[in-house]
Amino acid sequence: MDERYSVRDAVHGFVKLNQLEWDIINSTCFQRLRRVRQLGWTDYVYPGAMHTRFEHSLGVMHVATRLFDSIVNKDREILRSEHQFNDAGFERQRQLVRLAALTHDLGHAPFSHAGEELFPINKKTNRRYKHEEYSAFIAQSEIGDLIKNHPLNKNNTGLAVDDIVSFFSPSMVSADTIVWRELISGQMDADRMDYLLRDAHHAGVTYGRYDLDRLVESICLCPDGEGGMTVGVDESGLHAVEGLIIARYMMFTQVYYHKTRSIYDYHYEMALAELLEKSKGTFPEPAKIKDYIAWDDWKVLGKLANGEGGEHGKIICDREHHRLVCWTPEVPSSEDIAEFESKAKELEKFNPVVRDASKSWYKFSNEEIRVKTENSSTPKSVPLANRSSVVNGLETINQKRLYVPHCHQKEAQKIIMSGRG
C-alpha cells in the first residue's frame, strides 16, 4: 500500500504511513494518545520525560515493520512450509503487524501504567481488566468500521479489526497472526525496542541505548527445540541482544524504578481513586468505552488543579512526596526480606508505604532469548544464557522499599538507625 505520508519522529526519523494508517491516526481515539504520557509522573525526576503514547505508537509500528521485513526476507521458506504463508499473505500480514503495533496502546489509562490498579474487576475472570483489553474494545468499537470500509481494504485484502486485535487481546487467537505476536509482545518485541530508546532520549539519559540496526539485521526464526519456532537472533546479533538486555536493566534501575519516580505512582493512584469516587473508585468498564475514552491526562490534571485529588493530589501539586527510609538489596534473600518486614513493623505508626520492584511496570527479569546456531547441519538454537556470561550474571530485580510521609522521615530514620546499633 502506497506510503504517501510521513511523520518526523524524534527517535527514528521519518515514519512512513499509508492512507489507512493516516486515517486511523486522525481518529478521535488515536488522537487521545497525545494526551496520555508515556511514563506517568517521571518528569518529576527527569523533567524531559513528557512524551506521550502517540509518538511511541508510531515508533512501535516503524520498528515492528523493520523486524517483520527482516524475518520474512530471511525465513520466507520456513514460513511458507511451516505455516503455508504465500506472497499475498505476507503483504496482508505486514499490514496487520503495522496496524496492531499502531493500535496496541489505544487502551492506556491517563498517565499510562500508573493508573492500572484502578481498572475494574472483570466478573468473568475475577481479575482486573488490563489495558490490552481496553485497546481491543476501543479498536473494535471506534475504528472497526473505518478499517472494514476503507478504500484501501477493498482489493480482497480482507483486513478485519479482529485480526488486528488478536495480536493483543487475551481472548482471541488467529493462525495468521500468532507467529507475529512476539513482535508486539514478547522477549524481542518492537514495543520494548522503541520505548527504551524513546524513554532514554526524552529523559536525557543514555542507559536505554543499544544497537537497533544490528538487532534488525540479526532477528530470525529459531527452532525452539520442541518442533516449533520462536523469534530470536542469529549469532551475529549476540552482542546486540546483550546490549538490549543491559539497556533494560539500566533503564529499570535508573529510571522506571527510580526511588522518587516510583513513589509518585502511589500518590497518583490514591489521588485518582478520589477522582473516580463517583464510579466506585475505578475506571468505567470496557462496555462503557466512550466514558473510558473521556479519561485522559488533561481531565486528570484539570481535576487535580481544582483540588479534587484529596491529600495525595495535594502532595503531587506541591511535590511533597513520601520519603524512602529503608530497602532491601536489589536481589534479596529470605533473610533480607525478613529483616525488611521487621523494620516495616517498627515503623507501622507512620503509615508506611511499601513498593515492590516485582510489581513495577516494565519490571526487569532475565527472560530467555534464543540464539540460532550455525555450526550444525540441522538448524538449532540455544538460550542466550548459553553464550553470554554477561546475561547469565543478571538476576531478576525484586527489591522492596519502604516510604514514610515527609514529616516523619527523620524520626523513622532514627528508629532504623537505633535498631542497627
Site of interaction with other proteins (CB under 8 A): 82-84, 121, 126-128, 130, 170-173, 175, 178-179, 181-182, 185-186, 224-230, 331-334, 337, 356, 358, 363, 365-368, 380, 382-383, 385-386, 392, 395-396, 398
CB of residue 90 vs other proteins: minimum separation in angstroms? Answer: 17
SS3 31: helix
206 versus 333: smaller Cβ distance to other proteins: 333
Query: What does each C-alpha distance from 335 to 329, 332, 341 come to in angstroms?
Result: 11, 8, 10
The beta-strand segments (E) located in 35-161 are 121-122, 127-128
Query: What does each C-alpha distance from 321 to 65, 266, 333 come to in angstroms?
Result: 41, 10, 29
CB of residue 330 vs other proteins: minimum separation in angstroms? Answer: 10
H or E stretch at 235:
none
CB of residue 364 vs other proteins: minimum separation in angstroms? Answer: 8
CA dihedral 375, 377, 380, 384 (to 10 degrees): 0
151 versus 227: smaller Cβ distance to other proteins: 227
23 versus 367: smaller Cβ distance to other proteins: 367
CB of residue 18 vs other proteins: minimum separation in angstroms? Answer: 28
CB of residue 323 vs other proteins: minimum separation in angstroms? Answer: 24
Contact in structure between 52 and 34 (CB atoms under 8 Å): yes
CB of residue 408 vs other proteins: minimum separation in angstroms? Answer: 25
The identity of residue 131, as a single letter, is H
Contact in structure between 51 and 198 (CB atoms under 8 Å): yes
CB of residue 371 vs other proteins: minimum separation in angstroms? Answer: 10
> CA 4, 9, 360 angle in degrees (round to 5)?
130
Whose cell is 546499633? That residue is 421
The identity of residue 374, as a single letter, is E
63 versus 391: smaller Cβ distance to other proteins: 391
73 versus 389: smaller Cβ distance to other proteins: 389
CB of residue 329 vs other proteins: minimum separation in angstroms? Answer: 10
3-state secondary structure 163-222: HHHCCCCCCCCCCCCHHHHHHHCCCCCHHHHHHHHHHHHHHCCCCCCCCHHHHHHHEEEE
279 versus 365: smaller Cβ distance to other proteins: 365
84 versus 155: smaller Cβ distance to other proteins: 84
Query: What does each C-alpha distance from 252 to 79, 84, 215 come to in angstroms?
Result: 35, 40, 21
Strands 370-373 and 229-234: parallel
H or E stretch at 56:
helix 53-83
CB of residue 417 vs other proteins: minimum separation in angstroms? Answer: 27
19 versus 70: smaller Cβ distance to other proteins: 70
Output phi, psi for 402, to 5 deg.
-125, 130
3 versus 356: smaller Cβ distance to other proteins: 356
Residue 301's Cβ-count burial label (10 Å; 0-12, 13-18, 19+) is middle
CB of residue 380 vs other proteins: minimum separation in angstroms? Answer: 8
CB of residue 120 vs other proteins: minimum separation in angstroms? Answer: 10
6 versus 333: smaller Cβ distance to other proteins: 333
155 versus 376: smaller Cβ distance to other proteins: 376
The identity of residue 54, as a single letter, is F
CA–CA distance, 115 with 309 (Å, rounded to integer) = 14
